[in-house]
Structure 1
Amino acid sequence: MPRPGPRASRRPPYTVCAALLLLLLTGCAAGGTAPGPTAVRTGAHAPSGSIGAAGPGAVAAGGPAAPTWPREIRMLGQTARSAIPAESRQALVVTGDSPESSEATAVLYTRDDPTVGWLPAAGPWPAHNALYGWTDEHRVNDLRTPIGVYGLTAAGGLLEAPGTELPYVQSPAFTASGEGFDGESLKGSFDYVIAIDYNRVPGASPLDPTRPLGEERGGGIWLHVDHGGPTQGCISLPEDRMEELLRILDPAKVPVIVMGDGAALAR
């Protein structure tokens, strides 16, 4: 267990999920790990275009800064940018307030025209991540969220799909109960979930327990409905924003999530 951060005085939750979830979803209850074979960053290609390339509106040296074309996602450094697959046209960027913070901001970017580049399409939305913040080196139960670029390939929830192109599994196994780190109710947290492809089989149900890197590396890292406090490894968004995201994400556009604290994403 990592050394407690600023929120260490919080008491741990009592019951995070129903019995079936405790067996299958150890990642949301246990955090994740460093990007592995299922992370999109493995073998990814840099987006088309280059930073600083002159384009429309360029001005002479010494004048106002000219826009660059195609546009890049401004807060991302070269490491994160190059990990986004060239074919991806949707990227949800979740930026943590600090390496130890459980609060973050999410913005959805789209790249429908490669000559224009990335443009903000939705957000900013408030978000939560794990109790102790972020890490590149995750282990089960470390209460940190893995940093990296990962695919978004499957969804599910306790409720009926609100209309989504992603494969969606509706099941009572998504029932959540108990209390979070701030004593808040966890009820409804899994009404909608989107699986993050960290240490899992891309495209499989969020309930699939397969962990390609091994159980000790965590898993079950999801986007899910916010319950008003830190998570145990997942990313949470307000329920209406989860509904909106499910309607927008399109498997044909190879959606990914880019997540980490601001300093890590700027590398």
Structure 2
Amino acid sequence: MTVAVAAVGSILAALSSCGGPGGAGGDHKARGDARPGHTKPAADPTRIPDVGDRLQRRIPAESGQVVAVYGADRNSADAEVVLYTKRGKVWERQRSWAAHNGKKGWTTHHHNGDRRSPVGVFTLSDAGGVLPDPGAKLPYTRDPAFAAPHWWAKSHWHDFDYVIAIDYNRVKGTPPNNPARPEGDAKGGSIWLHMDHGSGTSACVSMSKQDMEYLLRVLDPHQHPVVVMGDRADLEA
């Protein structure tokens, strides 16, 4: 659905986290023992692949959709996004896409301005952007206030044409550009899935327009979607 709102302070919130000049993939490869006679154990289909117990336990039992963001390295801006859907007790891989994350990589203690994406499991509750609703199942807010300022590099002007809010330090059930940060400004905020400009972000995860449209159309609030995100080492810990 489309809700029109005025977003006071939205540009300030966006500037402090997503996009921006100098801010905005790679393939995640399974690792195994290549020695003769040794094979990698079969993956447990009831778990999200390459995610250790620490984060696996944080995926809500009622979740039927997981967007997994596999960062190439703790200090890399390259990532792969994989959509998993639950069928019974089994997680099925649906699609995967190249993506970018924070320009400086990942952190388990994100703070405002560190240019690293936060590692963790977060719900996905709200969406929006400059462009009309493409058929999103999540509540969608179309608002011209999402637009990146034109004093940014031209390559960044369309970053926020589509966004999906990652529920890190924000008020769920409000438009993504709501600037409220319940845990305080120092912990950062306005962490989104948004459109890619070809390089790392300030803290968000970015994907192509086509990929964002697909996610917007399939992520279903009735499936309680979450994002599981981080570099490979932290995800597997």
Structure 1 length as normaliser, TM-score?
0.74
The answer for the alignment partner of 1:241 in structure 2 is 211
One-letter amino acid of the counterpart of residue 158, structure 1? V
Aligned: 1:119 with 2:113: no
Aligned to 1:189: 159
Residue 34 of structure 2 corresponds to none
Alignment match of 2:13 (pick from 21, 24, 38): 24
Q: Distance in 2 between matches of 1:220 and 1:102?
A: 18
Q: CA 1:65–1:138 in structure 2 vs 1: closer, same or farther (change >3 Å)?
A: closer
Query: Structure 1 regions of 5+ residues with no counterpart?
Result: 1-18, 31-61
Among 111, 116, 127, the residue aligned to 1:144: 116
Q: Give me the whole-angstrom Cα distance separating, in 1, the residues matched to 2:159 and 2:124.
A: 18
SS in 2 for 1:83: coil
Deviation at 1:249, TM superposition (A): 0.2
Give the counterpart letter for 2:144 in structure 1. Answer: P
Alpha-carbon contact 2:51-2:236 (below 8 Å) kept = yes
Alpha-carbon distance in structure 1 between the residues aligned to 2:69 and 2:151: 24
Identity %: 44
Q: Distance in 1 between matches of 2:151 and 2:227?
A: 27
Task: Letter of the 2:49 partner, please give it.
Answer: R
- The 1:27/1:120 distance shift into structure 2, 3 A limit, reads farther
Note the C-alpha offset of 1:69.
6.0
Amino acid at match of 1:144: R
Aligned to 1:102: 77
Aligned AA (1:88): S
Q: Displacement of 1:25 after TM fit? A: 2.7
- Root-mean-square deviation (Å): 2.3
Give the secondary-structure state (helix, strand or coil) at the position aligned to 1:185: helix
Aligned partner of 2:223 in structure 1 is 253
Superposed counterparts of 1:88-99, under 5 Å = 88-99=63-74
Asked whether the equivalents of residues 159 and 191 of structure 1 are also in contact (C-alpha less than 8 Å), the reply is yes
- Which whole-Å CA distance do the structure 1 matches of 2:151 and 2:101 have between them? 16
Q: 1:252 to 1:138 in 2, by over 3 A?
A: same
Distance 2:221 2:60 in 1: 13
- Aligned residues of 2:10 and 2:178 also touching (Cα < 8 A): no
User: Is 1:72 aligned to 2:42, yes or no?
Assistant: no
The residue aligned with 1:159 is 131
Letter in 1 for 2:185: E
AA aligned to 1:142 is: D
CA distance in 2 between partners of 1:65 and 1:226 (Å): 34
Shift of 1:26: 4.7
Q: What's the counterpart of residue 4 of structure 1? A: none
CA distance in 2, matches of 1:66, 1:266: 15
Aligned residue for 2:155, secondary structure, equals coil
Letter in 1 for 2:95: A
Select the structure of larger CA radius of gyration.
1
SS for the counterpart of 1:224 is strand
Q: How does the TM-score come out when normalised to structure 2?
A: 0.83
Distance in structure 2 (CA, Å) of the matches to 1:103 and 1:93 = 14
Give structure 2 stretches of 5+ with no counterpart.
1-7, 20-36
d(CA) in 1 for partners of 2:151, 2:232: 29
- Of 244-253 and 65-74, deviating more is 65-74
Choose the corresponding residue for 1:172, options 132, 144, 153: 144
Q: 1:205 aligns with which of 150, 154, 175?
A: 175
Q: CA deviation at 1:68?
A: 6.4
**How far apart are residue 178 of structure 1 and its match?**
4.7
Report the CA distance between 1:211 and its aligned residue: 0.5
Partner of 2:57: helix, strand, or coil?
Answer: helix
